[in-house]
Amino acid sequence: RERGERPLAGVRVLDLTRVLAGPACGRELAAHGADVLLVSSPRLPSIEPFVMDTSHGKRSAFVDLETQDGAVQLRELAAGADVFIEGYRTGSLARRGFGPEQLAAMRPGIVYVSINCYGHHGPWRERPGWEQLAQTVTGTAAIEGGDGPPRLLPAAACDYTTGYLAAYGAMTALARQTREGGSWHVRASLCQTAMWIDRTGVVHEPAAARGLGETADLMTASDTPWGRLVHLKPAASMSATAPRWVSPSVPLGTHQAAWSA
């Protein structure tokens, strides 16, 4: 690539995720230049503030997998994708023909990213789960509570960190696919992230932590369909190809379920 070209320019990402961890992964890939299409079910509920926060740089479409037309539509999209991200209960997409082995056969060379709560092995792998449960079962809440009762971290640390780690895994897999060929399966989970955070040790904030006025250098603003949105900039800093989002967050289903020309 020429100097200054975005690292993921030309990479198509099909983002079948919702809530926080998976959407954060797609958002990070968009920040490095990927063409990210968020595909949501019109039958599932959504949390609008989360959509606003995690949809920077993406286009957004509805596909209904409960219909035959929807399944055909998703296969056509997957056939043109370089990366496929899913955050549904383990095995649910495979039962519909969209598991990692099935997509590798349909689209050789694809990078398939799976995100769940409890990990991809063991008796809990198919259970649904989310941030608070991951913090609880891994002991993170007990550590945060100290000598008192368990207490949740004051942020969705498992969700967002899992999204960043999954994006890092996807980019690593894309690099290896370029050198070695093959299709790749990246797996991340909230519980593995929680245990990794615990292993890194506890960092105690000083009593006078940075206030809102001292975080201006971390913020940016975007004009969105919801109005002007003030939000965090991309987390990474790169000298030649600074991450950025080229489009604002939009409501689910804003665009057609098709790749950009």
Confidence of residue 204 (pLDDT cuts 50, 70, 90): low
Q: Give the global pTM.
A: 0.92
Q: What is the pLDDT of residue 126?
A: 87
Q: Is 159 labeled as catalytic in the residue annotation? A: yes
Check pLDDT > 60 for residue 125: yes
Check pLDDT > 90 for residue 260: no
Confidence of residue 247 (pLDDT cuts 50, 70, 90): very high
CA distance 46 to 55: 13
Q: What is the pLDDT of residue 213?
A: 58
Q: What is the pLDDT of residue 154?
A: 83
CA distance 128 to 8: 31
Going by C-alpha positions, the residue among 96, 88, 95, 34 that lies closest to residue 65 is 96
Measured CA to CA in angstroms, residue 30 lies from 9, 53, 59, 151, 207 at distances of 9, 13, 10, 34, 36
Q: Looking at this protein, which amino acid is placed at residue 13?
A: V
CA 249-60-186 angle, to 5 degrees, is 100
Q: What is the pLDDT of residue 210?
A: 53
Check pLDDT > 80 for residue 1: no
Handedness of CA 255, 256, 257, 261 (dihedral sign): negative
Going by C-alpha positions, the residue among 184, 127, 196, 197 that lies closest to residue 155 is 197
Residue owning tokens 């606003």: 52
CA distance 77 to 30: 17
Residues 15-58: pLDDT tens digits?
999 999 999 999 999 999 999 999 999 999 999 999 999 999 99
Q: Show the tokens assigned to 193.
A: 């992230």
CA distance 238 to 3: 12
Residues 87-119: pLDDT tens digits?
998 889 999 999 999 999 999 999 999 999 999
Contact (CB, 8 A) for 141 and 151: yes
Instruction: Give me the percent of the chain exceeding a pLDDT of 70.
Output: 93
Check pLDDT > 80 for residue 121: yes
Of the candidates 15, 159, 198, 223, the residue annotated as catalytic is: 159
Check pLDDT > 80 for residue 207: no
Q: What is the pLDDT of residue 238?
A: 85
Q: What is the pLDDT of residue 211?
A: 58
CA distance 200 to 216: 28
Q: Show the tokens assigned to 41.
A: 């079910």
Q: Looking at this protein, which amino acid is placed at residue 2?
A: E
Instruction: Give me the percent of the chain exceeding a pLDDT of 90.
Output: 78
Going by C-alpha positions, the residue among 123, 103, 70 that lies closest to residue 186 is 103
Q: Show the tokens assigned to 248.
A: 């604002």
| Average pLDDT in the chain | 91
Average pLDDT on 68-80 reads: 96
Helix or strand holding residue 35 (H, E):
strand 35-40
Number of Cβ within 10 Å of residue 34's Cβ equals 27
